Amino acid sequence: MLIKNVIYYFAILILSSCFKEYKGKIKIDGSSSVYPLTEAVAEEFREKASDIKVMVGVSGTGGGFKKFLRGEIDISNASRPISKSEIEQAQKNGIRFIEIPVSYDGMAIVVSPKNSFVDYITVAELKKMWSPESQGKITKWNQVRATWPDLPLNLYGAGTSSGTYDYFTLAINGKAKASRGDYTASEDDNVLVQGVASDPNGLGYFGLVYYEENKNKLKLVPVKATDDAEAIFPNDSTVQFGIYQPLTRPEFIYVNIESAKKPYMHEFIKFYLENAEVLAKEIGYTPLPPQVYKLSYSRFRNEKAGSLFEKRSVVGVNLTEALTENQ
């Protein structure tokens, strides 16, 4: 680890001289889950390229894609793959894009520390809580598991324009955007953190990094993929090696190909992929395998347009295999 960090910081010093000739703006928006990593990269980049203004906003994955497909931003942070309808809109608007995975994220299932009865939960129980058919019907804990108490079940989750919402509903309910609507929803993960933390009867989901930042306020619940499976906590190892399923997901940036033709944009993406592994670890994210970053840069350099997921599911995907097949 020490050697990697030394190489990283030495590379930063060398690269800084290369950026001095560039001036321009890079506009980024989208996922709140991807924001911390992209902002960490942008912060390092700004220090070495002060004449390049990198602006990173948050409007949710869906909101970011809307701006991206209107040509308003150069890069869209996304916690899910671009959808079929968004791809069609991109084609209609003449927006060509490169899809780049940048990290893994485990989706944390959390309750209040005051909750003493939930020691694990199954995927089937999560589906019973969150399926569209449960709206207005499954409203108490003992309706989910008979041994749980007769207490109100208060749910907290991502808003409907969030990529976290899309992935969670796909992984748990089998279809993106298929969810009950009678829950406390927010695009701001910090709102969900505060909601669950202050509600002894609450249960919520959001990206693992937000749990790690607030672990003193929350209780993390391990998940069983099947009723007789082992209960698995999300952490670096279980997420990176695909053990925490089905709630492990890759996260992405989408780059406008026309924007990428600008030399400083090319340097930013190169910088992002060369340093994402170290920076992801520093901020508590789970980095991708080094080979994935190399394959992603090759995909970017060759302007390989389109999505890996037009014909495959993102749930349980092996990124190394998918990228190798689509160079």
- In tens digits, the chain (327 residues) has pLDDT values of 555 454 455 555 545 445 556 679 999 999 988 999 999 999 999 999 989 999 999 998 999 999 999 999 999 999 999 999 999 999 999 999 999 999 999 999 999 999 999 999 999 999 999 999 999 999 999 999 999 999 999 999 999 988 999 999 999 999 999 999 999 999 888 999 999 999 999 999 998 989 999 999 999 999 999 999 999 999 999 998 889 999 999 999 999 999 999 999 999 999 999 999 999 999 888 999 999 999 999 999 999 999 999 989 999 999 999 999 988
The residue among 187, 220, 240 that closes a domain is 240
From 131, 154, 151, 135, select the one nearest 143 (Cα to Cα).
151
In sequence order, the 6+-apart residues with CB closer than 8 A to the CB of 250 are 101, 103, 104, 105, 288, 314, 317, 319
The residue among 240, 261, 290 that closes a domain is 240
Confirm whether 245 is domain-assigned. no
155 shares its domain with 225: yes
From 156, 158, 157, select the one nearest 60 (Cα to Cα).
158
Q: Can you tell me whether residue 313 is helix, strand or coil?
A: coil
In this prediction, residue 3 carries a pLDDT of 53
84 shares its domain with 116: no
In this prediction, residue 27 carries a pLDDT of 98
| CATH code of the domain covering residue 307 | 3.40.190.10
- Angstrom distances, CA of residue 67 to CA of 89, 140, 153, 227: 12, 39, 36, 42
274 shares its domain with 192: no
CB 155 within 8 A of CB 172: no
266 shares its domain with 219: no
217: containing domain: 106-240
From 48, 26, 63, 52, select the one nearest 255 (Cα to Cα).
26
220 shares its domain with 235: yes
In this prediction, residue 5 carries a pLDDT of 53
113 shares its domain with 185: yes
CB 150 within 8 A of CB 141: yes
Number of domains in the chain: 2
